């Protein structure tokens, strides 16, 4: 008999199995199964949506005082902070990321709960400057049942970003974590219950995206879809959502340029590039996957970068000394290899790495790879989602900006320079939802996160995220203006219009 842990869905305040079909969760560093999860079928999905709608309509969360939402989310933050070691271990196992990275990232996740708790408590409506003796009040109301589709690369962080904003606004939430890394998200159900969240307000549902995720997004009973994934996933769900007038927030990827200018020291620039490019083995939407290096420092910069890249420690994610962990799957290894092969066919030059590797003969690992290539190459324009980085020599500031903008993605970018004027000039001219100056991967719950072009629609984080989970209701109160009416005599009936009526 198998002793493999089975982690069921979190539904209506309890862990409940949805079907006999199981999905194995694989540790990408060892290729071993660490647990199984449910593959949730259509009938169960519909039942969960119906139950969530009942929860919302009851007002048990949607109509509670803002202070109650503040208290629950704040307590959830406290509980999560106390239990971080459990979540760090799970994240390391299911993603293959080095434990040192997971400790750093997860230590900040409670901040999102605290930030949106504070917004729930302090965000205010407003009164518009309505003409005449009339008061117009605007209040924000929750949307209803919202569906959140979250990815495998930052399972807990991205899920918490979305959950915190939606709950703070008073919605009922259904989360579908990636089948590749769902365990930490599933564990959050019980934590929120302990924090005082009413049962049924947060449902966590497992399954394949092409099945369970699709079923969730096709329901006419939901009020919003919040997706972090790929353009193909967005294209698959958008037509049905549009039929039901369901809004979609979507973060769909990136091809972040790292722009290096001569005023930055080569030593500092190389350290910055290594962090921007290889954190999470290049598996983030804002990976610094294009290094655009000014020709004045190019040769010296690349020489040092190659030497430092070769010294990066690829190893077991549980080892505190490991700097580069696994990629998520065998398919990811094959994708990295394909990009390298095509870059060579296009005239690129592999400066280091370029091949799959392993740790003790196991795991989905790929060597940290640098490829000198043209700005128009496939590698320089499209998302790898792995540790394969394009290096492009640029002759001027103008060329760096031009190359930075020459992709269909526009999520993140970083500018490295000690020239104050240049920093702001370049940041202003780069078409990207996020531009860092002398930094990369910087994130905060108060800072809106989202891109332009094919990188997606809408924002995570900040007041923008909170407000996107609400609808605005306008109440107009006439306290001193003669109302509009019809004359008493029917044959002469015509409206008498007040000065503020635009009929």
Catalytic positions are 251
Q: Are 227 and 249 in contact (CB under 8 A)?
A: yes
Question: Hunting for tokens 């094919």 — which residue is that?
Answer: 454
Compute the distance between CA of residue 94 and CA of residue 156 in angstroms, rounded to an integer. Answer: 11
Taking CA 38 as the corner, what is the angle to CA 37 and CA 42, rounded to the nearest 5 degrees?
155
Compute the distance between CA of residue 328 and CA of residue 310 in angstroms, rounded to an integer. Answer: 22
Torsion, Cα 187 193 199 203, to 10 degrees, reads -20
**DSSP single-letter state for residue 212:** I
Give phi and psi for 197, each to the nearest 5.
Answer: -70, 130
Give phi and psi for 318, each to the nearest 5.
Answer: -75, -10
**DSSP single-letter state for residue 484:** P
**DSSP single-letter state for residue 328:** S
Residue 482 burial (C-beta neighbours within 10 Å; 0-12, 13-18, 19+): exposed
- Neighbour tally for 195: CB within 10 Å: 19
Compute the distance between CA of residue 24 and CA of residue 7 in angstroms, rounded to an integer. Answer: 10
- Neighbour tally for 101: CB within 10 Å: 21
Strand ranges inside 355-496, DSSP E: 356-359, 362-366, 369-372, 388-394, 409-410, 412-416, 434-437, 452-453, 456-457, 470-478, 485-486, 495-496
Question: Hunting for tokens 């984080």 — which residue is that?
Answer: 461
- Neighbour tally for 211: CB within 10 Å: 16
């Amino acid at each position: 008999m198998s002793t493999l842990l089975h982690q069921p869905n979190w539904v209506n305040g309890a862990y409940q199995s949805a079907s006999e079909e199981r999905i194995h969760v694989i540790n990408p560093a060892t290729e071993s199964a660490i647990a199984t999860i449910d593959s949730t079928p259509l009938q169960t999905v519909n039942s969960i949506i119906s139950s969530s709608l009942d929860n919302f309509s009851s007002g048990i969360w949607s109509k509670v005082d803002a202070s109650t939402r503040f208290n629950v989310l704040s307590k959830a933050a406290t509980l999560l902070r106390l239990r971080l070691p459990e979540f760090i271990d799970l994240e390391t196992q299911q993603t293959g990321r080095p434990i040192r990275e997971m400790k750093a990232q997860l230590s900040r996740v409670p901040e999102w709960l605290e930030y949106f708790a504070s917004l729930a408590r302090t965000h205010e409506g407003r009164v518009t400057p309505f003409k005449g003796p009339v008061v117009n009040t605007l209040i924000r109301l929750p949307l209803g049942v919202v569906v959140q589709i979250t990815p495998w690369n930052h399972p807990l962080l991205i899920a918490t970003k979305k959950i915190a904003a939606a709950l703070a606004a008073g919605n009922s939430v259904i989360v579908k974590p990636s089948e590749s890394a769902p365990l930490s998200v599933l564990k959050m159900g019980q934590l929120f219950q302990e924090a005082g969240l009413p049962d049924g307000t947060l449902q966590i549902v497992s399954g394949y995206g092409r099945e369970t995720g699709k079923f969730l997004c096709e329901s006419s009973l939901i009020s919003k879809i919040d997706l972090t994934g790929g353009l193909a996933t967005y294209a698959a769900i958008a037509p049905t959502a549009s039929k039901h007038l369901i809004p979609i927030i979507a973060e769909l990827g990136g091809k972040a340029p790292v722009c290096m200018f001569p005023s930055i020291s080569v030593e500092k620039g190389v350290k910055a590039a290594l962090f921007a490019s290889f954190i999470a083995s290049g598996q983030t939407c804002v990976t610094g996957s294009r290094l655009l290096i000014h020709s004045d420092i190019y040769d010296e910069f690349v020489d040092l970068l190659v030497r430092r890249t070769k010294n990066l420690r690829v190893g077991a994610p549980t080892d505190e000394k490991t700097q580069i962990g696994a990629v998520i799957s065998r398919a990811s290894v094959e994708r990295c290899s394909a990009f390298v092969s095509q870059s060579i066919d296009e005239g690129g030059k592999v400066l280091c790495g370029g091949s799959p590797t392993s740790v003790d003969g196991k795991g989905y690992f790929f060597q940290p790879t640098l490829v000198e290539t043209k700005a128009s190459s496939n590698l320089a324009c499209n998302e790898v989602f792995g540790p394969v980085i394009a290096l492009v020599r640029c002759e001027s500031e103008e060329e760096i900006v031009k190359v930075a903008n020459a992709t269909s993605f526009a999520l993140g970018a970083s500018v490295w320079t000690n020239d104050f004027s240049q920093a702001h000039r370049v940041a202003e001219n780069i078409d990207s939802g996020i531009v860092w100056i002398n930094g990369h991967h910087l994130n905060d719950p108060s800072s809106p996160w989202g891109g332009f072009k094919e990188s997606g629609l809408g924002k995570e984080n900040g007041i923008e995220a909170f407000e996107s989970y609400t609808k605005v209701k306008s109440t107009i109160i006439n306290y001193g203006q003669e109302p509009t009416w019809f004359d008493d005599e029917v044959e002469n009936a015509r409206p008498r219009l007040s000065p503020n009526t635009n009929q």
